[in-house]
Amino acid sequence: MSARRLSVAILATVVAPALMFAGTISGKVSYTGTPVKQKPIDMSKEPSCAKQHATPVNTETIVTGAGNTLENVVVYISAGADDANAPSQAVTFTQKGCQYLPHVLAMHTGQELQVVNDDQTSHNIHPLAKVNREWNKSQPPGSPPIQDKFDSPEFISVKCNIHPWMHGWFVVLKTNHYSISKGDGGFSLPNLPPGKYTVTAWHEDYGTQTQDVTITGNETKAIDFSFKAKAY
Partner 1 sequence: MNHLKRVHFFSAILSFVLGAGFTAMAQDAPDVGPHPPAPAPAMESHIGNITGHSKDGAADYRRYCAGCHGVLGDGQGENTPWLDPKPRNFTLATFKCRSTPTGTLPTDEDLFNTIGRGLTNSNMPIWNTFTKDQKANLVAYIKIFSPRWGKEKAGDPIKIPVEPAVTIESISHGKELFTKLECWKCHGPQGKGDGPSAATLTDSQDNPIRPYNFAGGGNDSRFKCGSTNADVYKIFITGVDGTPMPSFADVIQPNDAWDLVHFLRTLQVKRRSKENDVLKAAGGKIPPYPEKQGEAPATHSENRTGGGN
- Using CB under 8 A as the criterion, which residues of the chain lie in contact with partner 1 when the complex forms? 45, 121-122, 124-126, 128, 130, 133-144, 146, 161-164
Nearer to partner 1, 159 or 174 (CB): 159
Half-sphere exposure of 173 (CA within 13 A, CB side): 27
Nearer to partner 1, 101 or 146 (CB): 146
**Residue 127: CB minimum distance to partner 1, A:** 9
**Residue 163: CB minimum distance to partner 1, A:** 7
Task: Classify the C-alpha dihedral 124-100-157-164 as positive or negative.
Answer: positive
**Residue 37: CB minimum distance to partner 1, A:** 21
Nearer to partner 1, 28 or 159 (CB): 159
Nearer to partner 1, 40 or 135 (CB): 135
The answer to whether the bond into 17 is cis (omega within 30° of 0) is: no
Residue 86 · residue 46 · CB < 8 Å: no
DSSP tag of 224: -
**Residue 143: CB minimum distance to partner 1, A:** 5
Distances (CA, A) of 5 to 8, 12, 18, 94: 5, 10, 20, 48
